[in-house]
A = this chain, B = another copy of it.
Amino acid sequence: MAIQVSTLARHPGVRTEEQISQLKHQWSVYQRENSLKTTAQRELIVDVFLRGSSADTHVSIDELLALVRARNARVGYATVYRTVKHLLDAGLAASRQFGDGQTRYEVAGSESRHHDHLICQKCRLILEFEEPEIERLQDTVATRLGGFKVMQHKLELYGLCPKEQGVSGGQCPGDDAQKPEPRVARR
């Protein structure tokens, strides 16, 4: 019996045009409020990030830069870092650390419902899921803590995906681990 993984992940990367333009509107509001100028690089980075193809949910800065450079080679690291910082500030991006040493970013914003993550400890596959119950849990704890005001949470489940269970040397979606290329520009 095949296990339907795809129904669990929130159709990553399948963002409708409508959602994209909603997110872009949120971005332009932020731009105006902070008197940010509109530059080709920044717009490109934002566009690439918000559209994120299904393979590129949870991008690292490196990956994002690579995607951006595919469309415009003359973009520097610093610009990506600075732009992502703006996206975080605008609430359009959220950062996550899954323990692989890199900070990863995913699309947030009013359009996206909150979700949590399940990470395969063997193959590093990352799945998303929604669990409304946890909001209730959060409130329970908040109440017990009395004075605390809980703003957000991060829940990560770590375990083994179907392909890894029992298989000692089995392969896995993320297992064909081509050593990450040395970063695009290193000194």
Task: State which of B118, B142, B151 has its C-beta within 8 Å of the C-beta of A141.
Answer: B118
**Contact between B129 and A133 (Cβ–Cβ < 8 Å)?**
no
A134 contacts partner chain B, Cβ-Cβ < 8 Å: yes
Q: Which of A110-143 contact B (CB under 8 A)?
A: 118, 121, 127, 129, 131, 133-134, 137-138, 140-142
A173 in the interface, Cβ–Cβ < 8 Å?
no
Nearest residue, chain B, Cβ from A129: B141
Give the oligomeric copy count. 2
Q: Is A29 an interface residue (CB 8 A)?
A: no
Which of B118, B134, B155 sits near A148, CB closer than 8 Å? B118
Give chain A's interface residues, CB within 8 Å of chain B.
3-5, 8, 95, 97, 99, 118, 121, 127, 129, 131, 133-134, 137-138, 140-142, 144-162, 165
